[in-house]
Amino acid sequence: MGKPLLDVKDLKIHFPQKKGVIKKKVTYVKAVDGISFTVNEGETLGLVGESGCGKSTTGRGITQLVPTTDGEVLYEGTDIASLSKSELRTQRKNMQMVFQDPYASLNPRLTVEDILAEPLKAHGVKDKKERRKRIEEMMDVVGLNRSFIRRYAHEFSGGQRQRIGIARALILNPKLIIADEPVAALDVSIQAQILNLLKDLQEDFGLTYLFISHDLSVVRHLCDRVAVMYLGRMAEIGNTDKIFENPLHPYTQTLLSAIPISNPRQKKERIILQGDVPSPVDPPKGCAFVGRCPKAHERCHDERPELQKMDEDHYVACHLYD
């Protein structure tokens, strides 16, 4: 694997919530509460976890779509959070996002050409012919028929819209693509088409992906490394095969055991968790998972576990392994 492209250090993203009669009491939703990870050039890092664990907020924090509270986001060594607005704009050329809902993330009143021209205009491609040429090339790359260039986004099916979304992200030749649940809204047969497309594009253009997903089968299929998040913190991170074959954190173990297997002959031991994810406003003092963990002991209530190295490229934040 290549050198680190993105280095996230102790990232915190807190959202203030004003409460009380005169809105003076402020509490914080600790959506992301001190996570660190690295994405190396040319690899795919999967960011997984359940709703509300902060995985999407992390993605948005990296591109500065939401302001970060604390910590560093280093892209090729530069801290993104310290950049001025115009510097950030230039930097964004290198990191683009693909969103979950292809119905909501494309403007239905723009044609494919308008949608794909926007990033080019924003980044100074003034010649109309040049823009047209790049748009047509990009349509070929993502498998959209060139003759659709004047069609409106609402005329396309979900899978084709997601291809437009991918084309929009790729048209500026970024190095890093942050894909936030790009296949979650698609049917199985279309999902397979888009996953194959993402894989081909990575090979052809040497892209680096941060792939945010709740679907562990998809993550296993696509990602080289996986980071498991729970309630704004990192539970386990490492090589995909190591995590899927030898999950160490009790949360990762539960998550993996909960996936339905598409083979009726295969029965497996399932760990059923009690209760729900606690509120990120008032997370447990010790380990975030303590309230639902089948293996919790006294220390877990008081002391927050830090990531510790268990094996080459396999880290876990759990007191069981101290």
Partner 1 sequence: MTNVLDIKDLEVSFKSDGKEVKVVNGISFSIKAGETLGVVGESGCGKSVTSLSIMRLIPSPPGRISGGQIYFNGENLLDKKEREMRKIRGNDISMIFQEPMTSLNPVFTIGKQINEVLLLHYKMTHAEARKKSIEMLKLVGIPRAEQIYDSHPYQLSGGMRQRVMIAIGLACEPQLLIADEPTTALDVTIQAQILDLMRGLKEKTNTAIMFITHDLGVVAEMCDRVVVMYSGEIVEQADVDTLFNDPKHPYTVGLLGSLPKVDEKIDRLYSISGQVPVPGSVEKGCRFAGRCDHVMPHCTQEDPPLFKMKDGHDARCWLYDPVHGRKEEAKDGQTTLGREGS
Annotate 271-299 with DSSP letters as a single string: PPPPS-PPPTTS--SS-TTTTT-TT--HH
Binding mask 269-308 for partner 1 (x = CB under 8 A): -x-xx--xx-------------------------------
**How many whole angstroms separate alpha carbon 1 and alpha carbon 79?**
22
Using the rule CB under 8 A, is 258 a contact of partner 1? yes
Q: According to the binding rule CB under 8 A, does residue 50 interact with partner 1?
A: yes
155-179 burial by CB neighbour count: b if 16+ within 10 A, else e? ebebbbbbbbbbbbbbbbebbbbbb
CB of 260 vs partner 1, minimal distance in Å: 3
Identify which of residues 62 and 216 has a Cβ nearer to partner 1 in the complex: 216
Contact with partner 1 (CB under 8 A): which of 12, 132, 214, 304? 214
Judged by beta carbon, residue 87 or residue 140, the one nearer partner 1 is 140
Q: Considering only residues 12, 93, 220, 304, which one is a binding residue for partner 1 as defined by CB under 8 A?
A: 220
Q: Which two tokens stand for residue 133?
A: 């040429």
Distance, in Å, from the CA atom of 132 to the CA atom of 109, rounded to the nearest integer, reads 19
Q: How many residues bind partner 1 (CB under 8 A)?
A: 43
Q: Output the six-digit token pair for 231.
A: 């309630």
Of 250 and 305, the one with the shorter C-beta distance to partner 1 is 250
Q: Does 145 bind partner 1 (CB under 8 A)?
A: no
- Our finding on whether 196 is near partner 1 (CB under 8 A) is yes
Q: Judged by CB under 8 A, does residue 241 bind partner 1?
A: yes
Near partner 1 by CB under 8 A, which window of 87-95, 147-155, 209-217, 300-308? 209-217
Output 96 or 162, the one with its CB closest to partner 1.
162
| CA dihedral angle for residue 271, residue 276, residue 281, residue 285, rounded to 10 degrees | -40
* CA–CA dist 282, 224 (Å, integer): 33
CA dist 76 and 129 (Å) reads: 33
With contacts defined by CB under 8 A, name the span among 31-39, 83-91, 118-126, 152-160 that binds partner 1. Answer: 152-160
47 near partner 1, rule: CB under 8 A: no
3-class DSSP state of 32: strand
- The answer to whether residue 157 forms part of the interface with partner 1 (CB under 8 A) is yes
Rounded Cα distance, 36 and 243, in Å? 17
Among 65, 122, 259, 281, binds partner 1 (CB under 8 A): 259
187 binds partner 1 (CB under 8 A): yes
CA distance 127 to 82: 32
Q: Is 265 in the site for partner 1 (CB under 8 A)?
A: yes
* Bridge partners (DSSP) listed for residue 30: 14
H-only helix segments in the chain: 55-62, 85-92, 112-122, 128-141, 158-170, 188-205, 216-222, 240-245, 250-257, 298-302
Least separation in angstroms between CB 12 and partner 1: 24
Q: Using the rule CB under 8 A, which residue among 84, 129, 262, 269 binds partner 1?
A: 262
User: What is the binding site for partner 1 (CB under 8 A)?
Assistant: 50-51, 157-160, 187-193, 195-196, 199, 214-218, 220-222, 241, 244, 254-265, 270, 272-273, 276-277
